[in-house]
Amino acid sequence: MLSDEQIKKLEATANTIRQDIIAMLLEAKSGHSAGPLGMADVFTVLYHTDAVKNDPKNPDWEERDRIILSNGHICPVLYAAMARAGYFLVEELKTLRKFGARLQGHPHRLVLPGLETSSGPIGSGLSQAAGMAYALRMDGKKNHVICLMGDGEQDCGQIWEAVMWAGKNKLDNLTAIIDRNNIQIDGFTEDIMPLEPLREKYESFGWHVIDIDGNNIMEIYNAINKAKAVYEKPVCILAHTVPGKGVDFMEFKYEWHGKPPNGEEAKEALRQLRTLGGKISGE
C-alpha cells in the first residue's frame, strides 16, 4: 500500500518527468511526445517505488528485476524516470538524440548502464523478455521480468509467438504492460488494425489479465504487486492511458505520436504541466 503522502509525491514526480520530456524534445527538435507523456505514471512506479527491484547506484545488481522497453520510441520517459531516480545526472537529458550521446532516439544498451536491451524495431521485446524469464527460472532465480509494449505494436506478428510461448511455459515471472492509449503512428488502433477483444486474446493464450487506469499511481502499483503474486501464468497489465497526458492540445491526438513541440507549443505545454505540480525541468 502507498500512503496518500507517497502518492502525492509520486504524482509530482510524474509531472516533473513530463516537464523533462517536453524540455528534452524541444532541445532535440525530434522525437515522440504522446506515448512518453501518457506513460509517465507507469515509469514513475517502475523506477520510484518498491514495486520493482532496481538500484540506480548499482544498475547491474544481480537481484534487480528486468525492465524491457519493447516500444523503444517512447524512451524519453524512460530516460527522464531513470535520471530522476539517480541513474545519471538530470543535465544529461539535454543530450537526447545528439550525435555520440548515450541517450539515443531509441535505447542503446551498450552505452547506457541500466538498460537491459536495445530497442526501436517494435515487436521483439516480448520475445526477449520471455527468453530472459525462462532462463532466470532455469537458474532458480527470483527476479521478475517486466516488458513494456505499445498497443499499435500488438500488430507485429512476433509478439503473438511470444504470447503463445510464454503461456505454454507458464512464465509467472513475466509481466507485460501494454500502453493501451488507442493511438499508433498514423491513426487510432481500432481503425488501423482492430485489437479488441485484447483481454480475451491474451487470456486465451493462458495469460492472466489486469485492466487498470494507467494514469493512476495506486492502480499501477497494486497491479504490479498483484502480477508478481500470480502463480503459473504470465500476466498482462492493460494500462489504459491518455496519450499526451497533461497537455490539452496533445491529449488523444495520434498526430502527436512522433512529433516534438516547437518553441511556442513547448512553452504552453510546460505552463499547463506546472499547474499540475512537480518541479520545473532542470531544477
Site stretch for ligand TPP (CB under 6 A), options 10-18, 48-56, 118-126, 275-283:
118-126
The least distance separating ligand TPP from the CB of residue 152, rounded to whole angstroms, comes to 2
Q: Which is nearer to ligand TPP, 32 or 84 (CB)?
A: 32
In order, the DSSP letters of the chain are ---HHHHHHHHHHHHHHHHHHHHHHHHHT-S--HHHHHTHHHHHHHHHSTTS---TT-TT-TTPPEEEESSGGGHHHHHHHHHHHTSS-GGGGGGTT-TT-SS-SS--TTTSTT-S----STT-HHHHHHHHHHHHHHTT----EEEEEESGGGGSHHHHHHHHHHHHTT-TTEEEEEEE-SEETTEEHHHHS---SHHHHHHHTT-EEEEEETT-HHHHHHHHHHHHH--SS-EEEEEE--TTTT-TTTTT-GGGSS----HHHHHHHHHHHHTT-SPPTT-
Nearest residue relative to ligand TPP (C-beta)? 150
Site for ligand TPP in 193-252 (CB under 6 A): none
The least distance separating ligand TPP from the CB of residue 280, rounded to whole angstroms, comes to 26
Tell me which of 114, 152, 234, 260 binds ligand TPP, using CB under 6 A: 152
Site stretch for ligand TPP (CB under 6 A), options 114-122, 132-140, 158-166, 207-215:
114-122
Asked if 35 interacts with ligand TPP (CB under 6 A), we say yes
Site map for ligand TPP, 250-269, x if CB under 6 A?
Answer: -------x------------
Site map for ligand TPP, 157-196, x if CB under 6 A?
Answer: ----------------------x-x-xxx-----------
Q: Which is nearer to ligand TPP, 90 or 195 (CB)?
A: 195
Contacts with ligand TPP by CB under 6 A lie at: 32, 34-35, 71, 73-74, 120-123, 150-153, 179, 181, 183-185, 257
